[in-house]
Amino acid sequence: MRYEKEDINKAIEVIQSGGIILYPTDTVWGIGCDATNEEAVRKIYELKKRSDSKSMLVLMENPGLIARYIDMMPDVAWELIEVTEKPLTIIYPNAKNLAPNLLSEDKTVGIRITEEKFTSDLIRRIRKPLVSTSANISGEPTPGNFVDISDEIKNGVDYVVEFRQGDMEKKQSSSIIKLGVGGEIEILRK
């Protein structure tokens, strides 16, 4: 399956101008923006009707970039990234260089390396991490496919990516592991 050049170019244009997009990920459809843009992150919280005390995760396309956004990359993180066979979000301590309202109160951030082609190409071309949060109003069920996303979400973003809208394969949310400063591992979602 191939996406159209115009589709990714429009998504890039919207993100670079501080807008938010609705897009397919390697898990569920997500709402996203430039993870370093505090105002764009605020727009997502408002659309989702979600408290900014609940952090959102960040997608990257290359694990080598993680060190730019956290103080120290624990060795165990490299091992987890290498052995995982399904999407894995790792919550790292001491986040930096990201929008402050994106981080949790304890300054942690969840980062997932995406293997989804459209999203990987998008991140590579904007040269910034991409916010990813499920495409639903806070407290409502996570939609399994594009057709399950509410009109409120679809109409509330600045651009809806066309790629994979007709995909009916049910995707699962990622596993979530939290790493402590000393390399402690806490499994939050399998």
Give the tens place of pLDDT for each residue, 160-172. Answer: 999 999 988 888 7
Judged against a pLDDT cut of 70, whether residue 176 lies above it is answered with yes
If 0-12 CB within 10 Å is exposed, 13-18 middle and 19+ buried, where does residue 186 land? Answer: exposed
Judged against a pLDDT cut of 90, whether residue 190 lies above it is answered with no
CA distance 101 to 51: 10
If 0-12 CB within 10 Å is exposed, 13-18 middle and 19+ buried, where does residue 121 land? Answer: middle
Per-residue pLDDT, 70: 96
What residues does 88 pair with on adjacent strands?
A: 175
CA distance 22 to 134: 9
User: Sorting pLDDT into bands at 50, 70 and 90, what band is 1?
Assistant: low
Cα-based torsion angle of the residue sequence 18, 43, 188, 59 in order, rounded to the nearest 10 degrees: -10
Phi, psi (degrees; rounded to nearest 5) at 46: -65, -45
| Closest C-alpha to 25, from 51, 55, 65, 57 | 57
Give the tens place of pLDDT for each residue, 24-81. Answer: 999 999 999 999 999 999 999 999 998 877 789 999 999 999 999 999 888 889 889 9
Q: What angle do CA 159, 165, 167 make, to 5 degrees?
A: 155
pTM value?
0.93
Contact 146, 152 (CB under 8 A): no
CATH class for the region spanning 5-189: alpha beta
CA distance 38 to 77: 27
Q: Which residues of 92-120 are buried (b: 16+ CB within 10 A; e: fewer)?
A: bbebeebbeebbeeeebbbbbbbebbbbb
